[in-house]
């Protein structure tokens, strides 16, 4: 495992431990992309977990030996643990992590109190992926899509190659999740970068048009690219998400007056 791939967990404190938050990084990424977000929520006193998805944080070749059921299973297990330890659980995800968060919401209903989605991916407009089922058997990888970050000098710790067998599995996750979006009824807070070189705007628009949630807020990020949790708008994401969780959970901010 690479050094940047270290998982993060905090049990919660200061009366806010009744709330747990599960965070998921994206495709070919690592917990690094979610760590500052997780640390902010932990400082609020919430229980927080950022697991490392199988095949991530090691090598793209190893990732090619994993698929979406492996990634989902880790989050599903982590969600079950958080549900045992906390009264309410929220799920947040970046990119593919947003897709996995939506899939969890589709499968678990009211066990999840709300979703925070950052540039979620549920589809692509790239027609080249139509040949992916065949291509992935012949070519192991393409150049990567890492570090789409406007802020200079930031490294998300993602692979510099795109593992095509894993990408083929991701496309299957997209199809399943997109087909069941109407099952999502939880409150949703979506952050979407106006300039994103990885996920097309159609992905976020499809989510908003297809879910059944009544409590939905979209916030556009004008100063960040795809990995917005490490970019210039990160403080807006962190503060907005904490406020969203406070509003829905009824749990006060750490240090707030009684």
Which residue out of 226, 233, 241, 249 is catalytically annotated?
Answer: 226
Which residue out of 196, 224, 233, 249 is catalytically annotated?
Answer: 196
* CB contact set of 151 (below 8 Å; sequence gap of 6+): 224, 230, 231, 232
Phi/psi of residue 54, nearest 5 degrees: -55, 140
Nearest to 91 by CA among 112, 119, 121: 112
Question: What is the spatial distance between Cα 107 and Cα 143, in angstroms, rounded to a whole number?
Answer: 33
Q: Is 226 a catalytic residue?
A: yes
Question: What is the spatial distance between Cα 6 and Cα 232, in angstroms, rounded to a whole number?
Answer: 23
Q: Is 197 a catalytic residue?
A: no
Helix (H) or strand (E) holding 97: helix 96-108
95: left (phi over 0), alpha (psi -120 to 50) or beta: left
244 is in an annotated binding site: no
1 is in an annotated binding site: no
Which residue out of 24, 30, 33, 95 is catalytically annotated?
Answer: 95
Q: Is 196 a catalytic residue?
A: yes
| Strand pairing class (114-118; 161-163) | unpaired
The annotation places the binding site at: 27, 96
The annotation places the binding site for substrate at: 27, 96
Residues classed as catalytic: 95, 196, 226
């Amino acid at each position: 495992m690479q050094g940047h791939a270290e998982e993060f967990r905090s049990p919660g404190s200061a009366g806010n431990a009744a709330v747990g938050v599960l965070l998921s990084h994206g495709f070919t990424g690592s917990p690094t992309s979610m760590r500052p977000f997780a640390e902010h929520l932990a400082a609020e006193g919430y229980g927080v977990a950022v697991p490392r998805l199988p095949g991530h944080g090691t090598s793209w070749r190893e990732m090619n030996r994993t698929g979406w059921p492996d990634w989902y299973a880790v989050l599903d297990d982590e969600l079950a643990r958080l549900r045992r330890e906390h009264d309410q659980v929220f799920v947040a995800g970046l990119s593919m992590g947003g897709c996995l968060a939506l899939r969890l919401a589709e499968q678990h209903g009211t066990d999840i109190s709300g979703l925070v989605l950052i540039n979620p991916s549920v589809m692509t407009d790239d027609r080249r992926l139509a040949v992916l089922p065949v291509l992935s058997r012949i070519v192991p990888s393409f150049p990567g899509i890492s570090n789409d970050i406007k802020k200079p000098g930031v490294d998300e710790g993602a692979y510099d190659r795109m593992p095509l067998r894993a990408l083929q599995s991701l496309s299957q996750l997209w199809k399943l999740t997109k087909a069941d979006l109407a099952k999502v009824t939880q409150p949703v807070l979506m952050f979407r970068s106006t300039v994103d070189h990885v996920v097309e705007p159609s992905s976020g628009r499809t989510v908003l048009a297809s879910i059944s949630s009544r409590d939905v807020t979209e916030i556009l990020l004008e100063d960040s690219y795809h990995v917005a949790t490490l970019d210039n708008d990160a403080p807006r994401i962190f503060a907005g998400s904490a406020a969203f969780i406070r509003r829905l959970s009824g749990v006060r901010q750490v240090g707030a007056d009684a």
